[in-house]
Structure 1
Amino acid sequence: MVKFSRPLQICCVVTLLLLIIITVTAVTLYFTVFKPKQPKITTQSVTLDSFSTNLFDLRDTNVTLGIMVTIDNPNYGGFKYGNSTTYVTYHGSLVAEAPIMEATIPARGRHDVGTTVLVIGKSLLTNPSFSRDQGNDTYNFTSSSTIEGKAIVMKLFKMKATSYCICNISVHFLAKNSTTVCTSKVKF
């Protein structure tokens, strides 16, 4: 049996205690301060940028919507994501796509994402809900985005993360305004 000297035993005990304290502190910080939180996505504006129609053929109607979304990152880590696409549907039918360019949302920061969406009138007119919405002057769209990237905490820890966002958009063409309600979820 090997016998250790007294100073070596004290050194091992102190080292073990320090490792336990560091581990407990790290776990506590992870579950309190660094616990991943859902980002808050707010649609700042959905504007009717252009509206063109052919009076002789209503299927030749095009609508361009400008969308400005603000993403608030409440986390202590940044989020870096790659290029993605937003899909816009009208009562379940795909009517437009818009690119989302890669960017980084800083830790506890805010990031504005702006894009334009061209909605082809033919895809709206062939939808059975169009005449009902036209009578109400409220056209209900749904936009959905999936953004994949990495959450970066203190430039040391990198985790893959996927953000899902669904927005219900009601556009009122005569009043030239809109209302939007968004929900988002992040999966680590």
Structure 2
Amino acid sequence: MVCCGNRIPRGVKICCAITTILVIIIVVVAVVLFVTVLKPKKPNLTTKSVTLDNIRLEVLPIFRLNVTLGIVVTVDNHRNYGSFKYDNSTVFVYYRKIQAAQAPVQADTIPARARHDVSATVTVVGDNLFPDPSFWVDLNSGVLNFTSSVSLHGKATAWKILKVKLTTFTTCNISVFIATQNASSFCQSKLMY
């Protein structure tokens, strides 16, 4: 049925016009809701803890150093009305641009308007660091500085129909204090669509 023409009664024309206006209003409201409220926002990532789980330093008969770090990052998804499901990933730990360790991060889903802890344990073996002359200076000062990074690739879903691919990047600067056997960290994150 066509809503235009001279032979259609005036009541049908008014009905078609009102229906068209209502459809346009619903589409505009849906687009505005998606762009403002439902659009996936950057989850807040904070380092809940970086712990020095173990440090093993042997001088004789062979110099060895093993540092085990426990990293727990809290992903706060309270700002989002959709869940964020991410794939398996890997945490990388660097010492002055030298890859010192890596550990897997298991795939998981962070529900809408919820918090979730992502944890990983990494073991840094000193054998990779010994050739760097700065390592011996840092070891002598009692502080070893590391950088960790992880990328979580996934999909944000709202109401099982609105799906957006997202990637979160998190980097942490970690200082390991050898004498007191503890660690501190500062992390930053960003989100890419």
The TM-score, its normalising length taken from structure 2, stands at: 0.90
**Is 2:32 the counterpart of 1:28?**
yes
Q: Tell me the number of residue pairs that the alignment of Structure 1 and Structure 2 aligns.
A: 187
CA distance in 2, matches of 1:93, 1:103: 29
Report the equivalent of 1:7: 11
Give the secondary-structure state (helix, strand or coil) at the position aligned to 2:38. Answer: coil
Report the equivalent of 1:52: 56
Which of 125, 134, 141 is the aligned partner of 2:130?
125
CA distance in 2, matches of 1:14, 1:33: 27
Report the equivalent of 2:116: 111
Runs of 4 or more consecutive aligned structure 1 residues displaced over 6 Å after TM superposition: none
Q: Identify the range of structure 1 (135-144 vs 98-107) with the bigger mean alpha-carbon deviation.
A: 135-144
The runs of 5 or more residues in structure 1 that have no matched partner are none
Report the equivalent of 1:68: 72
Deviation, structure 1 residue 143: 0.8
CA distance in 2, matches of 1:124, 1:134: 11
Deviation, structure 1 residue 132: 2.4
Report the equivalent of 2:46: 42
Deviation, structure 1 residue 68: 1.2
1:64/1:118 contact within 8 Å kept:
yes
CA distance in 1, matches of 2:76, 2:65: 36
- 1:66-119 deviation line (CA, Å, top 9, x unaligned): 111111112111100111101110010000001000000111211101111010
**Is 2:144 the counterpart of 1:139?**
yes
Report the equivalent of 2:186: 181
1:47/1:176 contact within 8 Å kept:
no
1:4/1:88 CA distance change after superposition, 3 Å: same
Alignment-mate amino acid for residue 11 of structure 2: P
**Is 2:170 the counterpart of 1:165?**
yes
Give the secondary-structure state (helix, strand or coil) at the position aligned to 1:53. Answer: strand
CA distance in 1, matches of 2:100, 2:158: 38
The runs of 5 or more residues in structure 2 that have no matched partner are none
CA distance in 2, matches of 1:180, 1:92: 17
Report the equivalent of 2:22: 18
- The RMSD of aligned alpha carbons is 1.6
Deviation, structure 1 residue 2: 5.3
2:95/2:147 contact within 8 Å kept:
yes
The TM-score, its normalising length taken from structure 1, stands at: 0.92
